[in-house]
Amino acid sequence: MELKEILRARRSVRKFEDRAVEREVVEELLKQAFTAPSSRNTRSTRYMVVEGREMMERIAQMRDYGSAFMKDCPMAIMVAGDESVTDLWVDNCSISATILQLAVTDAGLGSCWVHINGRPKLKAEPEGQSAEEYLREFLPIPAEWRPLCFIALGYPAQEVKPHSEKDDSDKVIWVK
């Protein structure tokens, strides 16, 4: 696909077919994600590939809002930053996660960004356990890694329509 087509086609997908994504496909997606630019070329982004019904069910419980669909997802890739490398890990991870989602779309798969960083496990208890703290209880997340998000991915269970053309000119300021 051409870049313009990929950008229009990329949509959040939360319903997936009950089939695994081939390891070779995931490895190629990660190769593409590693091409993402980073501040001062620090390459601070790290990935954790998680799959399997039991693990996905546990991950789906990391928040009581916005992550439940992950229990039926074949896999997810955690995008994390190594904060021992740079304080700009959030920025670097955000770029990498976006590149990963575009690569997923280009491969004919669907994905959805699911926030971890700064999110409480329980929405009603914003000062309680965080999603990150919950995940650290059972995932082998290195101490210097800070999880930003999961990119849930798989084969879409339904057709997703591309973005329609919109007039967003009111969201742009031109300065000379």
DSSP labels, 106-173:
HTT-EEEEEE-TT-BSSTT-TTS-BHHHHHHTTS---TTEEEEEEEEEE-BSS--PPPPP---GGG--
What is d(CA 22, CA 129) in angstroms, rounded to the nearest whole number?
34
Q: Residue 141: inside a domain, yes or no?
A: yes
Domain that holds residue 21: 3-157
Q: Is residue 175 one of the residues assigned to a domain? A: no
Neighbours of 74 (CB within 10 A): 19
**Whole-model pTM over 0.85:** yes
Radius of gyration for the alpha carbons in the chain, expressed in angstroms and rounded? 17
What is the tally of structural domains in the chain?
1
Residue 171 within a domain: no
Question: What is the tens place of the pLDDT at every residue in 86-137?
Answer: 999 999 999 999 999 999 999 999 999 999 999 999 999 999 999 999 999 9
User: Looking at the domain assignment, is residue 176 inside a domain?
Assistant: no
The answer to whether residue 95 sits within a structural domain is: yes
CATH number at residue 69: 3.40.109.10
Rounded Cα–Cα distance for residues 86 and 45 (Å): 10
Q: Tell me, yes or no, whether 173 lies in a domain.
A: no
Express each pLDDT in 127-175 by its tens digit: 999 999 999 999 999 999 999 999 999 999 988 887 788 888 899 999 9
